[in-house]
Structure 1
Amino acid sequence: MIRFENVGVRYADTAAPALAGIELTVPEGELCLLAGPSGVGKSTLLNAVSGLVPHFTGGRLTGRVTVAGRDTRTHRPRELADVVGTVGQDPAAHFVTDVVEDELAYGMESLGIAPDVMRRRVEETLDLLGLAELRERPIATLSGGQRQRVAIGSVLTAHPRVLVLDEPTSALDPGAAEEVLAVLQRLVHDLGTTVLLAEHRLERVVQYADLVVLLPAPGAAAVVGGPAEVMAVSPVRPPVVDLARLAGWSPPPLSVRDARRRAGPLRERLAGCSPAPPRQVADAEPVAVVRRLAVRRGRVEALRGVDLTVRPGEAIALMGRNGAGKSTLLGCLTGLHAPTGGSVQVGGAVPHRTAPRELVRRVGLVPQEPRDLLYADTVAGECAAADTDAGAAPGSCRALVGELLSGVPDATHPRDLSEGQRLTLALAVVLTARPPLLLLDEPTRGLDYAAKARLTAHLRSLADAGHAIVLATHDVELAAELADRVVILADGEVVADGPTAEVVVSSPAFAPQVAKVLQPQEWLTVGQVAAALDGGR
């Protein structure tokens, strides 16, 4: 169905090719997972399937890419639209209409599908993706994860033979991600749809893949094989595979279920051990206090009766379903939303009544869409501006970018960065100011495991230095590694608030892979297990 023959892609003014010598065949009716570190060319490979490379993104394409027998060099994207459906990393760039139901129908209208068929497919897709309650909602009022599901649904309604997805679960809560992956499996198994997806959260996807394509480095040859075979040699791998390497399991299990079947001896070795005690946060004056907070946005009651106290040095993970109110709560802490009821104070100031220039000294926010913070023409320009705004020494922001993610050239325009690279740049811009309260909204979207580990280490060092960190995330592995405390929101209310181990271990939806494998023991991360095993030698 998809065939790459010695494919290379090189963009203008770049020293190295984005892709080189790619040989790949994806049969009909298979789910193919594209994996690799940030910036290795995964999005470029996906765009070559849909014809966006080279017709829209530019670059020089060598070799041959065919989809259902059509050569993408001679067929523009509109001539592939009946065969290939594409959802990129940025759902907002995908939308044409303003309302959910209209967006689901738009693609079919463009293809001239009969109205009665369109109506049936819209209803099927609303049910498949759990969007029925949102059908009349303006897209602008949806959460990031809800927009992601709408973007996927707008492509599914056209029933493409090939579905190309770039980070399809990155903005979804664990439950919604499972629903989307179940839909993809149904399309593959029941309808013979060919699915090609790139994903950094391998713990969610790898067990469902029929084939894995690993791009280990920019311009390097692809490694193609079965999931277990490729994960055994991959530089990017989910926690369950890291645990397998630590325990000496070969081939590595890819799912929690398979790992649990082999974990008996490991649990015996860990018997009598316990994880290191959590960090102790000093009982100092809070940097932020939220009391009985209520927020109404149009017809939606986004928050009601929320209490939250944030102290210096504390790392808090806000978790919950898409649309639970996490981003709204962060927006209230930065003055983006005025409370309908209750109160918010940050550093003694009321955010929505404080001038931005004054508030920025108290709190910094990295939003879900990093481009909202980026306005310069080059990476170097963004870094220089960040140093000036923060009053930091020249080169501080650039050094931080290099620490979090190497290999980003100074002269690159931010729009030409991958989603993960753009997010890293936005993080560095905000972190340069070292605000007392740091807010992050889905900070690991587009980041590979190595980049996420570097980010976690940097955030931990900030917390150790007394900075308070509040992050809204669906990344349960990040919460396990970083958070001292987890707050779970549901329908705008706090339903759980406590130490990370206490909250996530008791929650099947928010427990990390290691916790699920080693239950009833309360281990959260591979690092904790490794430290215990080393200490027992």
Structure 2
Amino acid sequence: MIRFEQVSIAYDGAERPTVHDVDLSIDEGELCLVIGHTGSGKSTLLGAINGLVPHFTGGTLTGRVTVAGRDTAHHPPRDLADLVGVVGQDPSAGFVTDTVEEELAYGMEQLALDPGVMRTRVEETLDLLGLADLRHRGLHELSGGQQQRVAIGAALTAHPRVLVLDEPTSALDPTGADDVLATITKLVHDLGVTVVLAEHRLERVLPYADRVIHLPGDGTARHGDPATLLTGATVAPPIVHLGRLAGWAPLPLSVRDARRHASALRERLPSVPPAAHRTNAATAKRVLRATGVVVRHGPVVAVRGADLELRAGEVTALMGRNGSGKSSLLWALQGAGRRDGGTVDVDGTDPGKVGAVRARTLVGLVPQTATDLLYHDTVRGELDQADRDGASPGTARALLDTIAPGIADDTHPRDLSAGQQLALVLAVQLAVTPRVVLLDEPTRGLDYQAKAALTGTLDRLAAAGHAIVVATHDVEFATGAADRVVVMADGDIVTDGPAPAVLTASPAFAPQVAKILAPLPYLTVGQVEAGLA
């Protein structure tokens, strides 16, 4: 179905090709997973399948890419629209209409499908992705995860033979991600659709993959069956690291397979694992108290009388299904967002009742799309602006060098990787030393290595006395980073407790290691390694 013949792709000004001499075939009805570190070329490889690279992105492509016999050199993306459906990393960037129903129909309108066919497919897709209740909602009113579902649905309604997905589950809660992946798998098995997807949260996708393409970062591509390829891959989920540590062969790719090997490992481990977290919340100082917070967006009540206390030195993971009110609560706490009721107190001051500059010294917020806060042409410009907003000269640069060293002053912020952009925004927000730091889905676009670096950054911030809240759907990240977990549902806070207790209480939120080694209360591969030692 898809053929890469000695393909190399180079962008103007780059020191070397992003993709070099790639030769591979992807068969019809195959689910192919593309893995690699941030910046290794995954999006470039995906973009070449429908001609976005180089017709839209620029650069030079040598070699030949064909899809169902059509050469992308002679067929730009518009000529492949009936054959290839694409969902990019940022779903909202591809929206062209106002409401969910209109967006699902738009692609079919451009293909001149019969209105009756269009109506049927829209209804099928609304049911398939759980969007029926949102059909008349404005796209700008949706949460990031809901927007991602709509983008996937808009690609599916055209019934493409090839579906290209760039991080399709990055903004979805665990249950929603499972539903979307089950839908994608059904398309592969029942309809013979060829799916190529890139994803950083491999623990979600790996059990479904027929083939893995690994981009190690030097421009080359290795491909093969998942178990064989992941034996030596530099990017792997916790289940693979656990299998390597325990010496399991072949490597298990699903929790079910791993549990078949786990009994002997459980016998070797102490019944009580080493402590994974550091904070004693009972003795920590309270820095923020929110009481009865209410947020409404038109007729929708996003937050219903939420009460929350944050303490110095504590990292809190804010979790819950898409649309549960997490982002609305964060913006209300920061003071820049809507708050239709309740109070927020940070050391005696309400961030919502002071100016924006003063509010930033109380509560700093990194939004879902970090680049929303970057508007200068250079990294130096962003850092200087942060210093002018209330910090001494050089403060923001020192912070950036601590979080992500080596970023040049003259680099354009839009040319940075997702992890570097996040580090830059963190440095900008932290320059004025807020007592409370809020991050909304910071791990989107980050590989395991970058998430480990972010965890280290949060540890240092907590040690310096900051109270930190991270809204996330990434269970594995929350397991390694959080001391406490707060779960929201339908605008209410329904669970609030220590991370190990909350994350193991529900199968939806339990990390892979906990599922494999239950009933032993281990959460991370690091704990297992320490227990064996």
Quickly name the TM-score band, shorter chain normalised: over 0.9
Is 1:528 equivalent to 2:527 in the alignment? yes
Which one-letter code corresponds to 1:473 in the other structure?
A: T
Q: 2:353 & 2:337 partners in 1: Cα distance?
A: 10
Q: 1:387 to 1:24 in 2, by over 3 A?
A: farther
CA contact (8 A) 1:101 1:135 kept: yes
Report the CA distance between 1:138 and its aligned residue: 0.8
In structure 2, distance between residues paired with 1:117 and 1:327: 37
Shift of 1:450: 0.6
1:89–1:419 contact (8 Å) kept in structure 2:
no
Corresponding residue of 1:242: 241
- Residues 401/44 of structure 1: CA separation in 2 closer, same or farther (3 Å cut): farther
Instruction: After TM superposition, give the deviation of residue 281 of structure 1 in Å.
Output: 3.1
Q: Are 1:423 and 1:446, in contact at CA under 8 Å, matched by a contact in 2?
A: no
CA contact (8 A) 1:275 1:522 kept: no
TM-score after normalising by structure 1: 0.95
The aligned residue for residue 294 of structure 2 is 294
* Runs of at least 5 residues in structure 1 that lack an aligned partner in the other structure: none
Instruction: Specify whether residues 44 and 425 from structure 1 end up closer, same or farther in structure 2 by C-alpha distance, changes over 3 A only.
Output: farther
Q: Does 1:306 align with 2:310?
A: no
Offset, 1:195: 0.5
Counterpart for residue 273 of structure 1: 272
Q: 2:281–2:314: 8 Å Cα contact kept in structure 1? A: yes
Tell me the distance in 2 between the aligned counterparts of 1:81 and 1:286.
55
Residues 1:164 and 1:425: Cα distance change in structure 2 (over 3 Å)? farther
> Superposed, which structure 2 residues align to 1:171-320 within 5 Å?
171-219=171-219, 221-276=220-275, 278-279=277-278, 280-281=280-281, 283-320=283-320
C-alpha distance in structure 2 between counterparts of 1:413 and 1:507, whole Å = 43
The two structures have a TM-score, normalised by structure 2, of 0.96
Q: The residue matched to 2:286 in structure 1 has which SS?
A: coil
Q: Which residue of 2 aligns with 1:338?
A: 338
Q: How do 1:485-524 and structure 2 match up within 5 A?
A: 485-524=484-523
Residue equivalent to 1:3: 3
Q: How does 1:74-473 map to 2 (within 5 A)?
A: 74-219=74-219, 221-276=220-275, 278-279=277-278, 280-281=280-281, 283-389=283-389, 391=391, 394=394, 397=396, 401=400, 410-473=409-472
Q: Which secondary structure state, in structure 2, belongs to the residue aligned with residue 136 of structure 1?
A: coil
SS at 1:287 equivalent: strand
Unaligned runs of 5+ in 2: none
Which residue type is aligned with residue 224 of structure 1? H
String of CA shifts for 1:187-237, please: whole Å, max 9, x gaps: 111111110111000000011000100001142x11101111111111110
Letter in 2 for 1:166: D
Query: RMSD of the TM alignment (CA)?
Result: 1.7
Aligned equivalents of 2:75, 2:276: Cα separation in 1:
59
Number of the residue aligned with 1:475: 474
TM-fit CA distance, 1:387 = 4.5
> Matched residue of 1:443: which SS?
coil
Between the aligned partners of 2:406 and 2:28, the Cα distance in structure 1 is 36
**Partner amino acid, structure 2, of 1:256:** V
Q: Contact (CA 8 Å) 1:36, 1:215: kept in 2 or not?
A: yes
Superposed displacement of residue 433, structure 1: 4.1
Q: Answer yes or no: is the 8 Å Cα contact 2:314–2:483 preserved in 1.
A: yes
* Letter paired with 2:335: G
Structure 2: distance between partners of 1:392 and 1:505: 44
CA distance in 1, matches of 2:365, 2:241: 32
Match of 1:62 in 2: 62
Deviation, structure 1 residue 379: 3.3
Aligned partner of residue 348 in structure 1, secondary structure = coil
Mapped to 2, the partners of 1:452 and 1:199 lie a distance apart of: 14
Q: Distance in 2 between matches of 1:460 and 1:530?
A: 21
Paired letter, 1:251:
P
Query: Offset at 1:390?
Result: 5.5
Percent identity reads 61
Contact 2:272–2:521 under 8 Å retained in 1: no
Q: Could you tell me which residue of structure 2 aligns to residue 73 of structure 1?
A: 73
Give the conservation status (yes or no) of the 8 Å contact 1:404–1:451. Answer: no
1:155-187 residue CA offsets vs partner (Å, 9 max, x unmatched): 100011111111100000000100110011011
Distance between the aligned counterparts of 1:398 and 1:215, measured in 2? Answer: 32
